[in-house]
Chains A and B, each alone.
Chain A
Amino acid sequence: MEKETNSWSGMADQLMKTWTEVGTQAWKSWFDLMGLAARNPIADTKPGMESINQRFVENQELLLRLLKLSFNTWQDIFPKVESGEDWQYSLKNYTEQLRSQVDDFSKGTLKVNQNAAELWQLYIKEMQKFSQLWANALGASMGPLSQAAVTRTSQPWIELNNLYWNLLYEETFGSLMQIPLLGPTREFNNKLLGAFDGWTKLYRASIDYQILLADIQAQSFEELMRELISLAEKGEKVKDWRQFQELWGRTADEVFEKAFCSEENLKVRGRFLNALNNYRLDQQELVEVWMKTMNMPLRSEVDEVHKSIYELRKEVKNLKKTLAKYEAQAQANPPTPEKPPTDEQQ
């Protein structure tokens, strides 16, 4: 028994790692989306063969690992079914192991959350990546001009963040978090701290969402095992890998569907999406401060220009339509030409 419990624990650990990876991929998709906004949307939404192959390879590898793990679990449980042992107890035990892994994951991340200093450090690291993304996009779009603007050094945002890292974190972090902000950089500091707050909320919400996804995975796995046992009890055989995969796909997606019809789960997902969007707004504000200092056009200014063009375009279209209407009317009812004045009238 002890040996089997250890085995379950080991497998649960592996499964957790794989599921976390699934969560990370979901995350990556989101951050890629954020990045897309800064690049050419047309070019980026047209995947070629390369992206198709890449997607195929990634998913193939991930699923093969999950298949192997689930098959191992099945090997452990099935003999108990055959020999009339309490398989339900075994399955319950196994899924409890899975859930305890989820709990550990949750406790670990919450512990990080409680440590503000560590969180700030993480935030700055993320900011550096984010800044690099923006600087790259700017560099690509503005070419030599941007190089001049960034004084031909490495990404200016990294330096700026490092500066604030020193100023805000290493020297005065604690006090700056508490007191009203002062000085010429007051507005920037305010936005930076606001973004930190937004990032903290996003961090927490994303952990909640990942925990939720992992829990749904655990449920779907439990359901798969039940389905296999139920089939075996009826004497129905799963003939090959393909049938096994199909069964798993159907079972897992059914669990997923049910889970995301729950209001509580929808709220967890909603908090993640909302935190992500709020954080993006915070980021935009920060970027605008920097762009303003570099005398560059701001996103909000460009939006304003776009809006004006949109409204003007609409107005021109309406005027053209009205004009065409009057022209058609004029053609249908041409005005009677005025008779030249007669001699008498003259």
Chain B
Amino acid sequence: MKLKRKQTHQLQKSRQQMNSSNQELDSTVVGRKHKAMLPFLMQMRLEDASDEYTELTKKVFKGIENLSRLREEDIEIGSTPREVVYREDKLILYRFQPIVEQPLSIPVLIVYALVNRPFMVDLQEDRSLVANLLKLGLDIYLIDWGYPTRADRWLTLDDYINGYINNCVDFIRTKHGLDKINLLGICQGGTFSLCYSAIYPEKVKNLIVMVTPVDFQISDALLYMRGGCTVGAEALDIDLMVNSLGNIPGDFLNFEFLMLKPRQLGIQKYLDFPEIMHSEDKLLNFLRMEKWIFDSPDQAGEAYRQFLKDFYQANKLIKGEVMIGDKQVNLGNVCMPILNLYAEKDHLVPPKSSIALEKYVGTNDYTVLSFPVGHIGMYVSGKVQRDLPPVIANWLNARAD
């Protein structure tokens, strides 16, 4: 009760201050005979402005109250029950607990990118691609790459693709007594899955790629520009960077991603923060996204070197020139059914880059589908959460024989 009284007093005080500052501004501007001409602020009446600020102050108070109650564990990401079924070095393979009695007999292995934690596919109970797929009768495995340390700086793409992914696939094949399983590759994980499917087509039943870069040299794409593709080492000397840093810090990559849209990603969203912080649900959503975005593992130096040089700078994937260890990647070998999902407003992986896949793969069963969202919207948008899981489940069910 005391608090309430105090808040009311503070609100009244801030309202008075606001009125007084508005009057001050008003008199200055009116004095200059600009009132009728000045833009937005003058199009709002003083009462309206005052009310708006009072409302905002109320929201901020409520937000602070919400914030003070929250703890780190309240914004834990990854809520669907799962168990560890395989470990290798820092990699952990999870199996999510199936929730239907007889899930689809061919399980799906989700291969996520190295640049963020994989739990974006299981952000929270009501926004979880994994939970929705489980409800639709799928049996889901997920690779968690872990956090590479300096001891992992020598890991190459050979280790990730011919090593870790292959071992996980073999583990699942053995466990289920299958020759082939389904792969779902997301973003950079989609590129890895394509390489894997080209090298081991006999182990992949169906391949789904989601917001996956294929043609890396899309001229108006920002990441392509920043990767120094047009200028080379003068724009970004990958060798120097890896030699100097060992592993590439996750925070550096975050900074680079923010710099693609510095004002909208670095500033704008924090200004919107007071508008949502009064609602505990919205606040939790925001904080979970923040946690996911800034919880970025470092990149193993050698793997980063090859990915940037071969894929971004030399665009070797579509030329059939990528070597993963001693194995050449020929996308023509990807003969299994493919479902290619991309985001129409993706500024990280431009649609053109994903759509290009059709030209290079050897399959006759190719489906492409887009959603009117951005890169992150593919995981968190309510509409996509509703529409995407049935698309995946139906497509896989139709190809289960």
Contact = CB atoms under 8 A, between A and B. Distances in A.
Contact of A273 (B67, B89, B241): B241
B38 A78 contact: yes
A92 interface: no
A221 B295 CA distance: 33
Contacts of B377: none
Given A228-B39, A256-B262, A245 B222 contact: no
B213 interface: no
Interface centre among A239, A266, A281 (most CB of B within 10 A): A266
Contact of B296 (A45, A239, A314): A45
Interface string B278-295: 000000000100110011
B398 interface: no
Contacts of B159: 314
A302 B264 CA distance: 41
B238 to A, nearest CB: 10
Contacts of B267: 59, 62-63, 249
Contact of A37 (B44, B245, B255, B291): B245
Interface in B211-247: 220, 222, 225-226, 228, 230-231, 233-237, 240-241, 243-247
A interface: dominant SS: helix
A257 interface: yes
Nearest to B148: A41
Interface in B22-41: 29, 32, 34, 37-41
Contacts, number: 183
A78 B32 CA distance: 12
Given A56-B273, A245-B268, A303 B246 contact: yes
Interface residues of B, number: 72
B72 A48 contact: yes
Interface string B82-111: 000000010000000000000000000000
Q: 8 shortest A-B CB distances, which residue pairs? A: A277-B244, A270-B235, A82-B37, A266-B235, A249-B268, A238-B40, A310-B154, A249-B263
Interface of B: 29, 32, 34, 37-41, 43-44, 52, 67, 70-72, 89, 147, 149-155, 159, 163, 220, 222, 225-226, 228, 230-231, 233-237, 240-241, 243-247, 249-252, 255, 259-264, 266-268, 270-273, 275, 287, 290-291, 294-298
Interface of A: 26, 29, 32-33, 36-37, 41-42, 45-49, 51-53, 55-56, 59-60, 62-63, 71, 74-75, 78-79, 82, 228, 232, 237-246, 248-250, 252-253, 256-257, 260-261, 263, 266-267, 269-271, 273-274, 277-278, 280-281, 284, 302-303, 306-307, 309-311, 313-314, 317
23 contacts: A26-B255, A29-B255, A33-B249, A33-B251, A36-B251, A37-B249, A42-B147, A45-B297, A47-B295, A52-B291, A53-B67, A63-B270, A63-B271, A75-B29, A249-B263, A256-B259, A257-B260, A273-B241, A281-B240, A284-B244, A310-B152, A310-B154, A314-B163
